Structure 1
């Protein structure tokens, strides 16, 4: 086996091990296997795992109904694993029943690499979307390579388990030959053999050092804030360098609840320009955090230990990247559990309204006394942000100065619609007026420039 072939075997083996390990950590213990060669990395990981239970069912249709029966009886999903080609098609009747009856079920289909699709290659069919309209969630995962980042895979597995609570989900996983396996038992050693910097990333280091899921998913505020080892309020109470991030908010009720939450916590807070709260949070507000981070590499190493994130999309890529390196936890609260986490830093995802979350959280004992070092750093961030803004005002380009001039001189009662790309980024970076609330809106879902004058 040459170096390239060994690397492919390493990549596939690691992908399978990460998949099975995270499924088990998320409470999924039973795996129903319909044998086939392309699923070797997954099956090898199941066989090796000390807790996973393996059920071998030769016929794919029977295997799918076995998984369906398990989910119906236990109200927790079993995982059906198939090889590529027509194998996955035999799961359709069971998927239809799981869909109609809201039965928990996870189907994982191994697949050939994307370059073999539509080429006439043996045992290759368009498996992506084969159950569209019948599954609660689906994802096509690319072939693992030496450049694969582990965090998105682990986050996707937790998301699949969460979405399977009331019906089937489908993961399609591509593998390129040679399929492996590689005889390395220790998972951390296997990770290091593919990525030498894995322990330098807080989220992966935390995952490898514990037996906790990469991210815990909660269907409600009550589930997230129940007393116990995974109580979100207990996580928040650990904060010595806590920070509140407020994303986009569309209505006055959400803004009022976010403002109330900020006052309850007393933590440093940063509000996105589309939150409507940018200038209303007084001394605790790091309004120019994006500007501060853009002007100093040294401040990137000083990160929060616990982040609570509420609201929708955040414009600033810098702020999101910085917050995602929180050393202990990042808690995200969104009404329908929608992810706003492009850097995969969230450790606790709560699907609930700000109203419900704030109501239950207010009855818990929280740590509002943060470390003095963190308080001093936040003061430095505020000061540095003001310095960067002053420099832009004096020496910046025309676009920056025009955007700021308009933002600061338009009456506060005027509603502002901001175009995508640079206009919204410039205002998010430098638009901050103490004690002034701005009604500002932008299309940041997919950032289209169309419809501006519709």
Structure 2
């Protein structure tokens, strides 16, 4: 028997099985122990392979592909710390619901805990963060192929979101000429090879349970909060809320068009808090709320009922309101709960939001972080999409901008880390094929700098806009000693990114005005390649603008 040949047959069955669950993209890092999986995936005609030399970035690339495509994405890495580097992406997927299927090569059991090279304890390495795990045995013809398929199907069939980890030990030799070893083992699956269905069908039925008292609640005073939503969901929710006459407070990730813009500013106004306290019911669609004032109001509100509707299971409410947790498709839920046409019950909120937007427009006339955040909608590509980084960038856009309804917005706001942001943006572009604007801070860009290699392969224009405020200026808001804050929190690096862009062969620009920025972007959207644009701005200008506008709007 040829061990290398049987390893290939075993891996072929694994790869074929995951394609029966909708996998069309596979992200592969280099490594020897994962060779059977890599060769099987590379040979499969229905898989599009993506490669990266950095496993942490590879996991985030897969995360972005899953976000944009809505499909499960496979990841193949070798044994050892290569597996551990997937941890941040596993955590994020668990919090935001993207489906990742991790196929990790491993040493066989006799090489674990005995000093063998690149051998670590990989079983349950991700602890409680995956949705499910499967530790496969060493490949052997003593185990029928139907067991292997049914084990994978049983794992993936009920998967509604998050990562699954399939650990795959392979004994050496890993290389060799393919012979007939294992052919009969695979052929025992018979006509399954000619089908496109899983070997074992396991599914959890999902249906929307119409709330029997919705008709009564819909006639009361309600408030709608919109967190992270798909573009189609955000547009549908905005129309539903307008018909219902309830105020809709939309996060920058909600894709609702934010009918009441600049909520992070006007929510601090006493009149807004007085009006909103009159709500009988609050409906929250989606999680991952961004704005600090919105989170504060959400935590303090005490309506008679608080309903949270999202396709992802779990409480998703850090304030632990009394109410209902309704799991299912948001689009289906809205359809099943029609909105009666009603007159808005809190029209004064519209005036407050308009006033806040007017204040923002008057205070953002120069070139800086706040100005770019406010004018971001004018920079977006037609029929494109937006990826927002974390820390100060997303907060300023949430407070100052009004993004168009139905325009796709992506982020990593589950764990809200800065690891892998460029890699995720690259995956978002590849997963949709759309022109993409990605906006991140300078420390975020440094953290994932080698992901610039991924931007050399894009199918449509991609612009990476780096807001360089010389450090983590979100920490400028901390009430600490200035010298301590700069050294241990903001950590200014005094760098620019033109050499990094040149190293990876990417176009680079550093505009010094909004007009120059607009002109560079207009050119970038004409070519299917990646462009790095660096906006060097005042270190504390964005934070100061937020503080000043918050004070001004809340005291009107």
- TM-score band (shorter)? 0.3 to 0.5
TM-score relative to the length of structure 2: 0.36
TM-score, normalisation: structure 1: 0.43
